[in-house]
Amino acid sequence: MKLASLHNIVFGYTHVPALNGVSFELNSGEFVGITGPNGASKSTMLKVMLGLLKPWEGEVKISKKNSNGKRLTIGYVPQQIASFNVGFPSTVIELVRSGRYPKGKWFKRLDENDDVQVKNALEMVGMWDYRHHKIGALSGGQKQKICIARTLASEPDLLVLDEPTTGMDFESRKGFYEFMSHQVKKHNRTVVMVTHDQDEVEDYLDKIIHLEKGEQGGWKCLTLNSCNGRFGLAD
Ligand SMILES: Nc1ncnc2c1ncn2[C@@H]1O[C@H](COP(=O)(O)OP(=O)(O)OP(=O)(O)O)[C@@H](O)[C@H]1O
């Protein structure tokens, strides 16, 4: 099922376009990598897709429903989390547990399954041992990790992560890709991830969206299906 489509997107921060005719589709149950050199507008493309930036031209469509006919839920973790205020929730585990509350229901009683999801998410980003630490005492990279954990714990249908493995060592990155791949295959989620580690991750991916410098400035999009070492140009 198609969850999102971008068609001929043109966008720029100045009069020069940063994206120039970008088109791609996302389907449910896909693990998608977004690649391209520094400054290729990978983050910009995600923000346009999520409606945070309005394109000059082109069309963005996001499905309102997931493949079960329920309201589509989206989780997004940007590349740099702005330093967030440390009021409530004040500890790592409280923040990640808040990802389990359905929208607006802050006093839902969490059950054993919620606890398992929270633990899995914190272990996935290597922050379980920090669960009782105050958020204000963490480094920027650790805050980034717990934001990823909170989003993972909320189990969105569409998970959008901008360079989530920054600061992880090789083994942690591998574990992270395996976890994501499992989420996609077993739970029919869609994961979209900006990455600079194409060689490491491509065996896990179903699709790569690669940004290439266009001839008239801006970046165009090349969609590669059938990863696992056998790239085929989709369109
Ligand atoms: N808020 C902004 N205002 C003006 N220019 C911006 C803004 N955000 C990004 N840019 C510029 O747009 C271009 C694309 O930036 P973007 O962060 O989307 O690239 P990226 O591919 O995600 O880069 P990286 O791999 O380094 O994170 C860059 O030239 C960047 O300087």
The helix/strand/coil state of 114 is: helix
Q: What is the ipTM of this complex?
A: 0.97
- Ligand 1 pocket, 13 CB below 6 A? yes
CA of 44 to the centre of ligand 1 (A): 6
Please tell me if the CB atom of residue 35 comes closer than 6 angstroms to any atom of ligand 1: no
Q: Is the CB of 18 under 6 A from ligand 1?
A: yes
- pTM for the whole structure: 0.87
Structure tokens at 148: 């990823």
- Is the Cβ atom of 40 under 6 angstroms away from ligand 1? yes
Q: What is the full per-residue pLDDT of the chain (235 aa) written as tens digits? A: 999 999 999 999 998 899 998 999 999 999 999 998 899 999 999 999 999 999 999 999 999 999 889 999 999 999 877 566 555 568 999 999 988 886 666 666 778 888 999 999 999 888 999 999 998 888 888 888 899 999 999 989 999 999 988 878 888 889 889 989 988 988 889 999 999 888 888 889 999 998 888 656 677 777 776 555 444 444 4
* Angle, alpha carbons 18-229-220 (nearest 5°): 15
Distance CA 207, CA 226 (A): 6
Query: Is residue 188 classed as helix, strand or coil in its secondary structure?
Result: coil
Dihedral class, residue 26 (left if φ above 0, else alpha if ψ from -120 to 50, else beta): beta
